[in-house]
Amino acid sequence: MSVDTDNQTPDTGHLRTQELIRFDKVTKRFGDNTVLDGLDFRVEPGKHVTLIGPSGSGKTTILRLLMTLAKPDEGTITVAGERLFPAEEKQIREVRKKIGMVFQQFNLFPNMKVLRNITEAPVTVLGLSRDEAEERARELLDLVGLADKCDAYPGQLSGGQQQRVAIARALAMRPRVLLLDEVTSALDPELVAGVLDVLRDIARTTDITMLCVTHEMNFARDISDQVLMFDSGHVIEAGPPERMFGDPEHERTREFLSAVL
């Protein structure tokens, strides 16, 4: 979480550092509510970082800023050395392609079969041929344990299966970063484990960077390289999961974990 502002080339906004995600002094307000207040935040490539903390502490806002679903009021956001904010529309579109997100609600296209749900964006946005996109989609369906569901419609699948299709759909765009926002919150309890197992596999077998907001603390403990505890838009404590869950230093972290564990 160190701040090093000297390694930036002011003209281009390009960075010499290795960080995949970098927030510098990012402030986000909703009306009078300052949700993030000069946040500095870094994620290194290939790392799995989990954001924990009470509801309303700004975790989802960070993911939404990265998805450009919201814009900061101040500060800069850089992804893989390229500016996401502030930047021209064309650059934002390019940088956005490096980021995939899975939401609480899976939002699959109900009128398209599973395979088509996954191939649509790679064909229309990345310009892949339909054959290439289908080959990749079948590999991804295999990865999420749904190789036999290519021809199903979303409405014929369980919530857990739909979420696994949504994960495959995000990965089909070959993002550098996968953002996961409470991906199991809308699921019936018995379907949660299957989705988390798929994500554990992805974390273990790919080099994708993950930034995850979750209340599933066992999952966070398993997959995270780093856990960040948020309170009122600030990181109040950060560290490897063993220490964060085993021996948290901050009183707020202890309180939060004792309430959720």
Residues forming the site for ligand ADP (CB under 6 A): 30, 33, 35, 53, 55-61, 213
Nearest approach in angstroms of CB 215 to ligand ADP is 10
What torsion, rounded to 10 degrees, do the Cα atoms 195, 119, 213, 182 define?
-50
Pairing verdict, β 74-79 and 21-30: antiparallel
Nearest approach in angstroms of CB 48 to ligand ADP is 18
Using DSSP's 3-state secondary structure scheme, residue 190 falls into helix
The whole-angstrom separation of Cα 148 and Cα 73 is 46
The whole-angstrom separation of Cα 16 and Cα 81 is 7
Indicate the residue among 46 and 54 with the shorter CB distance to ligand ADP: 54
| Ranges assigned E (strand) in the chain | 21-30, 33-43, 48-52, 74-79, 82-85, 99-102, 177-181, 209-213, 226-231, 234-239
Query: Cis before residue 54, ω within 30 degrees of 0?
Result: no
Indicate the residue among 242 and 255 with the shorter CB distance to ligand ADP: 255
Nearest approach in angstroms of CB 98 to ligand ADP is 22
Nearest approach in angstroms of CB 55 to ligand ADP is 4
- Token pair, residue 93, equals 């579109």
Indicate the residue among 5 and 33 with the shorter CB distance to ligand ADP: 33
Are 230 and 52 a contacting pair, CB within 8 Å? Answer: yes
Indicate the residue among 35 and 118 with the shorter CB distance to ligand ADP: 35
Indicate the residue among 13 and 56 with the shorter CB distance to ligand ADP: 56
Nearest approach in angstroms of CB 142 to ligand ADP is 32
Nearest approach in angstroms of CB 29 to ligand ADP is 9
Nearest approach in angstroms of CB 61 to ligand ADP is 3
Indicate the residue among 50 and 61 with the shorter CB distance to ligand ADP: 61
Indicate the residue among 75 and 154 with the shorter CB distance to ligand ADP: 75
The whole-angstrom separation of Cα 30 and Cα 251 is 28
- The answer for residues whose C-beta is within 8 angstroms of residue 48's C-beta and 6 or more apart is 203, 209, 210, 212, 223, 224, 225, 226
CA atoms within 13 A on the CB side of 202: 32
Residue with tokens 């964006």: 121
